[in-house]
Amino acid sequence: MNEFIKQFLIESREQIEQATADLLALEETPDDKARLDGAFRAFHTLKGGAGIVDFTAMAEAVHAAEDALSDARSGARAITTVLIGDCLRCLDHLAKWLDATERAGDLPKDAEAEARAIVARFARSAGETSAALPGSRPGPEKWAEKLREQYATLAAKARTAIRYTPDADCFYQGLDPLARIAALPGLLAVNIEPASSWLPLDAVDPFTCNLVLFALTTGSRSEVIASMGEAVNQCDIDGSLDEKRKDGEVLAPEAREILAEQLLLLGEPRAHGAPGRVASAGIVAANVLRNAGLPAAANRIAGALETALAGSEPRYLKEAIETVLGKESLPEVVAPASPATDQQMTRQTLRIDAARIDAIVNLTGELTVAKNSIGHVAKLAQEGGHPLASVLKDRYATLDRLVSELQRSVVEMRVVPLRTVFERFPRMLRELSADLGKPARLVVEGGETEADKAVVEMLFEPLLHVIRNALDHGVESGSTRAARHKPAIATIHMRAGRQGEHVLVEVSDDGGGVDVARIRQVALDRNLVDAAILAAMSDDQAIDMIFEPGFSTAKEITGLSGRGVGMDAVRTAVRRLAGQVRVESRAGEGTTVRLTLPYSVMMTRVMVVDAGEQTFGIPLDAVVETLRIDVESIAPIGGAHAIVLRNRTIPLVTLAGALGLPREERPTAEATIVVTKINGHHGALRVDRIGERMEVMLKPLDGLLGGMRGLAGSTLLGDGSVLLILDLAEVFQ
Amino acid sequence: MTVRLAQDGTIELEGACPIEDAEALQRYLIADPQAGVDWRSCAAAHAALVQILLAAKSVPRGPPASDFLRTHIEPLLKSRGAA
């Protein structure tokens, strides 16, 4: 790939991040001029870049967004969720194209068609000021009103208005948008507009669809949805006339859609977690109706939910929701693809602060001097008669200092701010919160905290699980929050900070806290733990069980929020980085998940120990103290052993035994013990000998050793031998 | 062929006109922008053809043979056409 394109990819991704942040902020405070200007500038820069590398399709798409934002700056266009959503979707496409370009060197083939669709979308939403920002009630849409004015006489009979913007490449897919419109039940009127204004005839591509089709029908909204089939994704359907006529009350199209989704959920084949699914569908439906100002209907749903749950018969709930929707069973609505959550592709480029490079250049200079001085020592040794040892020692000290500095500098080069991963979450939360129907905002602090690139990149997935969990299980439903006098919009805090050699990342919500009783119950139900052991567990220990594989709180219902994602995935990912994760819960006040991660995955301080005639390294972080104790004071407890240290019983593991190594059978009067603390639990490790402490470059194990329990990695020692570093959490399990 | 050039230079649409006809229709219209289009025997037209007619601001000689085209599309072409 040529240098130009490489640079373009790096810069474009930065601009996309910038634009996303600005757009999301703008959505919160639509009159923030600075954010609007920022987003505009980012799109402008993106367009310039696309022009330079000759990515015409991308330039076109970005140009449309830039124009829209430019109109917003001049006041010609209102800043609506639709506008911001369109801009964000445009950025999604860009990110996808950039990834494809990185793989293949050029834009994907379908980029042109997609770009045209983006342009059409902006053209379509131009001049509209509907779909207002949260707070105002969504009324009938502008285009629909216009359509009804246009066909005033027919409109009196119309129940539903449709606006259908087919994909630009739909002709290639063998689709005939006109046939779809012709097939609509009760068709009253049809209008066709160009998606972007007509080109001269000889410039028109006959196989690219540049049409927006409008229709008025006497069919109901659900009939229209059924008739449009999968094309419903490209349709805006306004059935507000229909609903007004039927109920005398307005149920916003969004609300109807949410209800329809609950029906779909209920219609799914009975899978595991079905009661949870039914409960969730019922609660969501009731909330929607309550928010729409229809408390009576909400109560009917709540009643039906109870009946349904009592008899394990989701049918009752389904029927109740159908009744609210006007006894129409709705066909399957294909959910629009959720935006790229799989931007997990690790990027190979790093942008490095020039000052850090300068530091390394200086160090190389000093290293050269040190090397020369060793040459000098060699010469002295040849001549003989000098106190060689002291000179050598002196030079070694210098070299040692320089090499450590070099090492640190190189590690620093791999350091990136956590912001790079945090920035993706406000967007994610926006989608999640919409999916789950729980309004929430994300407050990010400490994004400037730095950590090794590998740590930062690995953080995305665990944090995503944690945030999903917070919103899905932590944050209460609207009605519960109201009853608890909490603000309707939940707040999720994401904080990061440096603590010594560690980076702390915290995610806390202001939800209901972890339901410990429920966790105990689930653990029992799933046979994860013995009843007696469970009874003896403190609440903290019980909460810790959510990290166990197989423990996934039963409400894995929402379908939209990543089913079956347990917290064990979080712990696995964090452990892989030699980190730790803890949960703190305050009943009724919220939950905090705290990840402790190493600042750098490369450098680890270890203590060397001998066991079973082999040498191992123990991460020094985990070591509390070392001591020698009388063998007699080791007490057998069942099949295991323990020692008592300062009135505290600590389980003891003999390292050689735990690793399956031959044990030294020579009877000794004293035992050498390393006391460790992992995940808050103390443990004693009996070793044969304790050696030196050192700083090593930890290399993760791969190949044959990769799957071995109890080992975290390896490093090379000065004499060329390999030192295996232990994973104490696994040793003690 | 469902789209063809009659001897008098008129472009005739006949039967159910599939997407492939759009290109031919465009070609004929570019070659002779003044040529009339006759769709009296047209029973159905793919959106691609209607798109070409709209882009060319052409008002075909009608009425077409299908209710849908007659009721909904012909008036559109008339209102957008050469006016």
Region A296-302: mean pLDDT is 78
CA distance A159 to chain B (A): 18
Q: Is residue A228 helix, strand or coil?
A: helix
Asked if A176's CB is within 8 angstroms of B19's CB, the reply is yes
- A70, A142, A169, A726, B83 from A195: Cα distances, Å: 20, 17, 13, 63, 21
Taking a C-beta distance cutoff of 8 angstroms, is the pair A683, A732 a contact? Answer: yes
Residues 147-166 of A with CB under 8 A from B: 166
Query: What are A173-191's pLDDT values in tens digits?
Result: 888 999 999 989 889 899 9
The pLDDT of residue A134 is 39
What does chain A come to in residues?
Answer: 733
Interface test with A, best of B51, B52, B57, B74 (most A CBs within 10 A): B51
Are A168 and A116 within 8 A, CB to CB?
yes
Phi first, then psi, for residue A689 (nearest 5°) are -155, 150
DSSP state letters, A53-98 = TT-HHHHHHHHHHHHHHHHHHHTSS---HHHHHHHHHHHHHHHHHH
Q: Assess A1–B contact: CB distance below 8 Å, yes or no.
A: no
Q: Taking Cα atoms as reference points, which of A329, A326, A308, A325 lies closest to residue A317?
A: A308
Locate the DSSP E strands across A561-613.
580-586, 590-598, 603-611
Residue-wise pLDDT for A5-38, tens only, equals 888 888 898 899 889 989 988 888 888 888 998 9
Q: Count CB neighbours of A210 within 10 A.
A: 22
Which of A189-193, A428-432, A576-580 tops mean pLDDT?
Answer: A189-193
Decide if B59 touches A, using CB distance below 8 A.
no
Task: Using DSSP bridges, classify how beta strands A187-194 and A635-637 pair: parallel, antiparallel or unpaired.
Answer: unpaired
β A235-238/A415-417 pair status? unpaired
Q: Which residues of B touch A166 (CB under 8 A)?
A: 47
Interchain CB distance below 8 Å, B19 and A209: no
Q: Could you tell me where the DSSP H helices lie in chain B? A: 21-31, 47-55, 67-68, 74-80
Residue B82 to residues A190, B27, B54, B60, Cα–Cα distance (Å): 20, 19, 10, 11
Say if CB A232 and CB A257 are below 8 A apart: no
pLDDT class of A558 with cuts at 50, 70, 90: very low
pTM, two decimals, is 0.45
Q: What is the mean pLDDT of chain A?
A: 80
Instruction: Give Cα A264 distance to the centre of its chain.
Output: 26
Chain B interface includes A192 (CB < 8 A): yes
Tokens for B8? Answer: 């008098």
**One-letter identity of residue A269:** P
Query: Cα(A540)–Cα(A547) distance, rounded to whole angstroms?
Result: 12
Give the single-character DSSP code of A391: H
B15 to chain A, closest Cα gap in Å:
15
Residue A171 CB contacts under 8 Å (≥ 6 apart), including other chains: A207, A208, A209, B19, B47, B48
Structure tokens at A386: 């000098």
pLDDT on residue B48: 93
Bond before B63 cis per omega within 30 degrees: yes
Nearest to B51 among A189, A202, A211 (CB): A211
Residues in chain B with CB shorter than 8 Å from the CB of A190 are 72-73, 76
Among B19, B33, B55, the residue with its CB nearest the CB of A204 is B55
- How many other C-beta atoms can be found within 10 angstroms of the C-beta atom of residue A492? 25
Q: Tell me, yes or no, if A203 comes closer than 8 A to chain B by beta carbon.
A: no
Residue B25 and residue B23: Cα distance in Å, rounded? 5
A695: β partners: A605
Q: Percent of chain A scored above 90 by pLDDT?
A: 11
A209 — contact with chain B (CB < 8 Å)?
yes
For A201, which of B45, B56, B76 is closest by C-beta distance? B56
Chain segment A80-125, per-residue pLDDT in tens: 888 888 899 899 889 989 988 888 888 888 888 888 888 888 887 6
Q: What pLDDT is stored for residue A608 in this prediction?
A: 92
Average pLDDT over residues A636-647: 87
Chain B residues with CB under 8 Å of A210 CB are 51, 55
Cβ atoms of B77 and A241 within 8 Å: the answer is: no
Q: Which residue among A182, A202, A206 sits closest to B68, beta carbon to beta carbon?
A: A182
The three-point CA angle A507-A505-A556 to 5° equals 40
Take residue A450 and report the two structure tokens written for it. Answer: 């730095």
Written as six digits, the tokens of A100 are: 């494809």
DSSP strand E in A372-479: where?
415-417, 440-445, 450-452
Whether the CB of A196 is below 8 Å from some CB of chain B: the reply is no
Q: Residue A415 half-sphere exposure, CB side, CA atoms within 13 Å?
A: 20
* A565 has pLDDT over 60: no
- Is some CB atom of chain B closer than 8 A to the CB atom of A198? yes
Q: What's the pLDDT score for residue A652?
A: 92
Tokens 């911001």 belong to residue: A84
Contact A409, A360 (CB under 8 A): yes
Any chain B CB within 8 A of the CB of A194?
yes
A207 and B30: CB-CB below 8 Å? Answer: no
Residue A127 to chain B, least CA–CA distance (Å): 22
Which chain A residues are within 8 Å of B72, Cβ to Cβ? 182, 187, 189-190
Give the least confident one: A385-394, A533-542, B1-10: A385-394
CB contact under 8 A, A190 and B72: yes
| A476-494 pLDDT tens trace | 888 889 898 889 889 999 9
Q: What is the pLDDT of residue B52?
A: 93
User: b or e along A69-96 (b: 16 or more beta carbons within 10 Å of the residue's beta carbon)?
Assistant: bebbeeeebbbbbbbbbbbbbbbbbbbb
**Contact call for A177 and B73, based on CB within 8 A:** no
Alpha-carbon torsion angle A657, A660, A665, A669, nearest 10? -20
ipTM over 0.90: yes
d(CA A555, CA A700): 36
Chain A positions touching B19 (Cβ under 8 A) are 171, 176, 207
- Rounded to whole angstroms, the Cα distance separating B55 from B70 reads 19
In total, the C-beta contacts within 8 angstroms joining chain A to chain B are 68
Q: Are A69 and A35 in contact (CB under 8 A)?
A: no
Contact B48 A202 (CB under 8 A): no
User: For chain A, what percent of residues have pLDDT higher than 70?
Assistant: 85
Q: Which member of A171, A189, A198 has the closest CB to residue B48?
A: A171
A183 touches chain B (CB under 8 A): no
Those residues whose C-beta lies under 8 Å from the C-beta of residue A535, and which sit 6 or more positions away, are none
Element of type H or E holding A361? helix A354-383
CA distance A162 to A143: 9
Q: What is the pLDDT of residue A214?
A: 92
Long-range (24+ apart) CB contacts under 8 A made by A141-146 are A141/A236, A141/A238, A143/A214, A143/A236, A143/A238, A144/A236, A144/A238, A144/A240
Which backbone phi and psi does A68 adopt, to 5 degrees? Answer: -60, -45
Return the ∠ at Cα A173 (arms to A168 and A177), rounded to 5°.
60
